Amino acid sequence: MNHLNDIFKNNRRWVADKLKKDNQYFSKLAEGQRPRILYIGCSDSRVSAEELMGLAPGEVFVHRNIANMVPNTDLSAMSVIKYAVNILKVQDVVVCGHYHCGGVKAAMEHADLGLLNPWLRNIRDVYRIHQQKLNKIGDEEKRFRKLVEYNVREQCINVIKTAVIQRAWKERGVRVHGWVFDIGTGKLKDLKIDFEGILSHIMEVYRID
């Protein structure tokens, strides 16, 4: 239980530290949140959300799951997008994947992981969409990294498909971004997805008037 006791000790130290700098810190936080970004990332313990972006509590709305997925029928992810965009009025939505992602790796292998199978199948769908290009990459590590990037792109497309994003883009220019975090270097990379290009392509099929 020692590691849990440490957490409460850490918390008391953190509270004291914050209050020393600003004795209103927590009462101000309690008044409400106005994050400008929705961050959708992986649950991986090595990939923090706020810390790697240098943001403080209150500055980013966060959703995390295995391999930063945005399945169309996932009520949790869809609710987060709806709430962040329509109620909190975030300006940017980020899907952030990461190299060395265990979820993406598992999807490249063929082990039966029970309950995880349908979740990983969403990543295998990404593999299937980009199968020809991926199969041409002989080096396994490079193929793995490329799949991480394709997965981010496909999850961005899933976000852009939603009526919530299409409306918010029209009304106030909300945008979607795809990033990858490299655990090996600590660096964030912007995949520079062509948001407008994807959006116009998407709207031909997925538009909801």
Catalytic positions are 42, 44, 46, 98, 101
Q: Closest distance between Co ion and the C-beta of residue 164, in Å? A: 25
Nearer to Co ion (CB atom), residue 103 or residue 178: 103
List beta partners, residue 95.
Answer: 40, 178
Q: Closest distance between Co ion and the C-beta of residue 66, in Å? A: 7
Binding positions for Co ion, rule: CB under 5 A: 42, 44, 101, 103
Nearer to Co ion (CB atom), residue 42 or residue 80: 42
Nearer to Co ion (CB atom), residue 47 or residue 199: 47
> Which residues 6+ apart lie within 8 Å of 38 measured at CB?
60, 61, 62, 63, 80, 81, 84, 85, 88, 90, 92, 93, 94
Long-range CB contact pairs, 113-121, < 8 A, 24+? 116/66, 119/66, 119/67, 119/69, 120/67
Q: Closest distance between Co ion and the C-beta of residue 102, in Å? A: 6
User: Which residue intervals of 65-194 are DSSP H helices?
Assistant: 75-82, 102-108, 117-129, 131-135, 140-160, 163-172
